[in-house]
Structure 1
Amino acid sequence: MNMENLHPPRHLEINGVSRSFGGVPALNDISLSVAHGELICLAGHSGCGKSTLLRVIAGIEMPDQGRILLDGCGISGPNNYVEPEERNIGFMFQDYALFPHLNVLDNILFGLKRLTRPAAQARCLEIVERLGLEHLSRRFPHMLSGGEQQRVALARALAPQPQILLMDEPFSNLDRGLRDGIRTETISLLRELGTTVIMVTHDPEEALSAGDRVVLMRAGEIVQEGSGSDLYDRPANAYTAEFFSTFNKVQGACWNGFLETPLGRFAAPGFADGHTATLYVRPQCLRVNCGAEGVDCTVVDCALMGEIEQIQVSVAALPGPLKIRSAKRSRLRSGDVARISVTPEQVFVF
């Protein structure tokens, strides 16, 4: 039996990649594996290294150290380097980078120069039809809406049938009203085509909803990776928790495996006695009521936000107000006295 067949190479392997600019590290010992047909969301705040990692994968930037393999073959490393145009990796830029002097068809044909003219035209017409761009084929970029430009850029990136498609903030230039629909449509198409995708985003909701796997970065390093539910429900650290959600933060002291706070006592395994830690409570995990349970509070503000009501309350032992969000109407007003309690789910101690 061929043991290698039991463990075929991953589609893309990034091993110990680092990259610095002027002595400032942009990537620090990054390792990541991507499977065939997987959609990875690279998430993180601006400057964390997401776009640099894309550029290194594409071959636009050279890593200072580490290796990148595509289907087991090295494309970047100490002893080899494959030119960007030889990697068969598509790149969709944030600003779409359409050529203003070329119409839609010619923009798409630009990436098909390796094919014969008839083959390129056939492939171009195929992708135009697939993305429903026939009625736009003779228009120039300035004649297109943001959503239409996005689709043309996607068509140009997909036309050469790349092994991997890299997308750098592909939906950030779209109006909020269009973004969700176009993102859903685009991701559905990519899944249908079986395209392997690595998409950069700074939008937490987009990262959680779009990817098979989310890779969260900070300061050139991977902080945590997993499914969207892994990172949202089981954040490994405070950075991950705060990137994907809003929290009320309450400090306390640890004793006998519990964190003692003005909101109550919470499990804190692994913390030494006397250690100061912070309780992270999502606004939807606080309940406000006038019953006997809970902690006394005073309503500071109550605002209706459509489906959600947001209440701010003050607790005597805390320096600042707490935020509560609920789909239920409390009918409370500023100055009312109430009691709040914590729903233990989705509560973290860091």
Structure 2
Amino acid sequence: MDQQGGVKQGASGSDVSYLVVERLSRRFGDVAAVDDVSLTVARGEIICLVGHSGCGKSSLLRLVAGVDRPDRGRILLDGEEIAGPRSHVEPEDRRIGFMFQDYALFPHLSVTDNVRFGLARLDKARAAARAEEVIGLLGIPHLAGRFPHMLSGGEQQRVALARALAPQPRILLMDEPFSNLDRGLRDGLRTETLGVLRELGTTVLMVTHDPEEALSSGDRVVLMRGGSVVQEGSGRELYDRPRNAYAAEFFCSFNKIPGTCSQGFLETPLGRFAAPDLAEGARATAHIRPHSLRISDEHAQGLECRVLDIILMGEIEEVRLLASGVPEPLRVRSTVRCSLRPGDAATVQLTSANVLIF
């Protein structure tokens, strides 16, 4: 075991299959919380489980932690079966760290004692040394004597991370670890935390409901829906090459323009797009991201439309347009301020070939 919380290569495991989830299922009555999920995590990899509330991501985390038992399937960690039809290793014996959404710090214990809480198996001197080491590693020695009510949200998050890393877990589970923080603090602290975990080589399974957080944080992203895996891969893969409309729309808002397939192309009011896999006469929808459109005045070439509304979103401005033949208002987003006003005639053009058809 690495002395800073990472895990060294073991004889029984491999880098490719450090954590293996095989056809895991868990039902609560008629609800399939986890439905035939398979997943492989490499040693030192950071995986983000993402999806809407109730998709099964937290239920999967609980099964890996051992606080719940699967109805079917099995889980292996570093070659050891920790859950399955004939085995169930108790949570305290799995050597898995768990960082909760609300941090779950003990209010009557100091920061040092909170960090030492999971070190009961060590003698007092070794536990004190390990706690001091991890507190120093995370840059919070000045907080050692304080109590949780004396800490800011960001400080509580660092203490919770220190407590989770102190026992040198084989894998760290994180359930919405940044959701309680203000956005400005959340972004900075997430970058800092993930930097520490990567430096230590810690294997991480992190749950989030935030699409941007998932895309920017994980080495791989696992999108779930209804207890099942919809798609997994790198953030770029899921954003640029989603397998279906659900995956596409989870990570980005789209202009959805219906059309009909003719001679290998989808014909729409905004243009024709290659669709070689669609049957002649098939109905489909072109998904176009708001930043892939550009607005010009009414004299330019493009689809004729009228400005409905202009919404300032800070750095970005969104313009909503009514266009002939398009059932829903088109949305155009840009960092360039629009000189048109609601009611003005305009034209809109496609500026990117990245059109998704489902």
Indicate yes or no: 2:296 matched with 1:326.
Answer: no
- Separation of aligned partners in 1, 2:332 and 2:153: 37
Closer, same or farther: CA 59–7 of 1 in aligned 2, 3 Å: closer
* Residue of structure 2 equivalent to 1:146: 153
Inter-partner Cα distance in structure 1 for 2:16 and 2:142: 42
Q: Is structure 2 residue 321 aligned with structure 1 residue 313?
A: yes
My pick for the range that moved more, 231-240 or 330-339, is 330-339
Deviates more, 1:338-347 or 1:231-240: 338-347
Scaled by the length of structure 2, the TM-score of the pair is 0.94
Q: Deviations over 1:321-342 (max 9, x none)?
A: 1110112233111122111111
The superposition leaves residues 30-74 of structure 1 with CA deviations (integer Å, 9 ceiling, x where unpaired) of 000000100000000000000010010011110101011111111
Tell me which residue corresponds to 1:164. Answer: 171
Q: CA deviation at 1:6?
A: 12
Which SS does the other structure have where 1:47 is aligned? coil
Tell me, what secondary structure is at the counterpart of 1:127? Answer: helix
Other-structure match for 2:60: 53
Task: Verify: 1:217 aligned to 2:224, yes or no.
Answer: yes
Whether 1:340 and 2:344 are equivalent positions in the alignment is: no
Equivalent of 1:42 in 45, 49, 54: 49
SS of the residue aligned with 1:74?
strand
Once the two structures are TM-superposed, the CA of residue 9 in structure 1 deviates from its matched residue by: 6.0
Question: Letter of the aligned partner of 1:33 in structure 2?
Answer: T
2-side partners of 1:299 and 1:182: how far apart? 40
Q: In the alignment, what sits opposite 1:299?
A: 307
Counterpart amino acid of 1:67? R
8 Å CA contact 1:302–1:310 kept in 2: the answer is: yes
From 97, 101, 105, give the equivalent of 1:98.
105
Does the Cα contact within 8 Å between 2:15 and 2:43 map onto a contact in 1? no
Of 25-34 and 287-296, the range deviating more from structure 2: 287-296
Whichever residue aligns with residue 174 of structure 1, its letter is L
Q: What SS class does the counterpart of residue 88 from structure 2 fall into? A: coil
* Paired position in structure 2 for 1:269: 276
TM-aligned CA distance change 1:228 to 1:135, over 3 Å? same
Q: What is the count of residue pairs matched by the alignment?
A: 347
Deviation (angstroms), 1:250? 1.0
SS in structure 2 opposite 1:114? coil
Letter in 1 for 2:305: C
Cα 1:309–1:318 change in 2 (3 A) is: same
How far does residue 8 in structure 1 lie from its aligned partner after superposition?
A: 6.5
CA distance in 1, matches of 2:16, 2:153: 38
Equivalent-residue separation in structure 2 for 1:51 and 1:271 (angstroms): 37
| Contact residue 9 and residue 71 of structure 1 kept, 8 A | no
Unaligned runs of 5+ in 2: 1-10
Instruction: Tell me the alpha carbon deviations over residues 283-342 of structure 1, each in whole angstroms, 9 at most, x when there is no partner.
Output: 001111235421111111223433222211111212231110112233111122111111
Partner residue in 1 for 2:162: 155
Q: Is the 8 A contact 1:9 1:72 kept in 2?
A: no
Greater mean alpha carbon deviation, residues 230-239 or residues 304-313: 304-313
Is the contact made by 1:113 and 1:120 (CA closer than 8 Å) also made in structure 2? Answer: yes
Q: What does residue 233 of structure 1 align with? A: 240
Root mean square deviation of aligned Cα: 1.6
Query: Are residue 130 (structure 1) and residue 137 (structure 2) matched?
Result: yes
The aligned amino acid for 2:69 is: M
Structure 2 counterpart of 1:24: 31
The aligned residue for residue 186 of structure 2 is: 179
2:293 aligned partner: 286
Q: Give distance in 2, aligned partners of 1:231 and 1:9.
A: 21
**Identical positions, percent:** 63
Instruction: Tell me: CA distance 1:165–1:80, structure 2 relative to 1, closer, same or farther (3 Å).
Output: same
Structure 1 unaligned regions, length at least 5: none
